[in-house]
Chain A
């Protein structure tokens, strides 16, 4: 089982739609969780951290479910500029790896006009 798993998509949604991505992680001791966004042939950029209580940043909402070991990202009112690959990132925080973040393979989103 992969440490971090995501549905690769692609998700093709019309402008204005709401779309949600899930990501599961295997290490129950994981401490930190993030969503990164990566445009084609560009570097990943931090979209938002994911906190235990859930957090919101404009049209983006991230949630953490420790019991089921998944995190989610909800995008409301999708814009064309939201088209990108969304990477789920987990700090497994096991011995010797506290400084290493584990990336999922990413979920591709295309927002259509």
Chain B
């Protein structure tokens, strides 16, 4: 019954070694988000897609990229992970009814805990 699925649940990578996290959804939601959450902190929005339109947050480092090949899938690429990128990465979806309207609730995946050695 999982609606937003993230793989893997835990990911270990080496300093500077590119890593890709994946997210898929069965909800057919038009908006998909990637959040970064560090211990005892609020989830921080990295970017989101409204359909195919990519929206990057101003303070998201260039090291983070994203792809959304279709409605169901979204990927987070970290080109050169640093020690400071170790965090929980949360994918979420929502349904926005139109460009000018806000979204309602977010549906989160179970997250990927990234460790950088």
Q: Residues of A at under 8 Å CB distance from B?
A: 4, 8, 31-32, 34, 41-46, 49, 87, 89, 91, 93, 98-101, 103-106
- Flag if B108 contacts A45 (CB, 8 Å): yes
> B70: which A residues are within 8 A, CB to CB?
none
The number of inter-chain residue pairs (CB within 8 angstroms) is 58
Contact of A98 with B105 in the complex, beta carbons under 8 Å: no
What is the bound-complex CA distance between A105 and B41, given in angstroms? Answer: 5
CA gap between A91 and B101 in the complex, in Å: 10
**A9 smallest CB distance to B (angstroms):** 11
Interface of B toward A, CB cutoff 8 Å: 31, 40-43, 45, 48, 50, 55, 88, 90, 94, 96, 99-106, 108-111, 113
A91 to B102, CA, bound (A): 7
Contact status A32-B102, CB under 8 Å: yes
Closest to A103 in B: B42
Contact A98 B43 (CB under 8 A): no
Min C-beta distance of B73 to chain A, whole Å: 18
With A87-B42, A106-B42 as contacts: A98 and B100 at CB distance below 8 Å: yes
Question: Pick the contact of B106 from A31, A41, A46, A106 — CB < 8 Å?
Answer: A46
Contact at A105–B111, with CB atoms within 8 Å?
no
List, in ascending order, chain A residues with CB within 8 A of B48's CB: 99-100
Closest residue of chain B to A2 (Cβ to Cβ) is: B42
B103 touches A43 (CB 8 A): no
Shortest C-beta distance, A34 to chain B (Å), equals 6
- In whole angstroms, how far apart are the Cα atoms of A113 and B9 in the complex? 32
Q: What residue in chain B is nearest A49 (Cβ atoms)?
A: B105
Task: Please determine whether A99 and B90 come into contact, CB atoms closer than 8 angstroms.
Answer: no
Which 3 pairs across A and B sit closest by C-beta, in order of nearness? A43-B108, A103-B42, A98-B102
The 20 sampled A-B contact pairs (Cβ below 8 Å) are A8-B40, A31-B102, A34-B105, A42-B111, A43-B90, A43-B110, A43-B111, A44-B108, A45-B108, A87-B43, A89-B106, A91-B102, A91-B103, A98-B96, A99-B50, A100-B48, A101-B103, A105-B41, A106-B40, A106-B42
Complex: how many Å from CA A105 to CA B44? Answer: 10
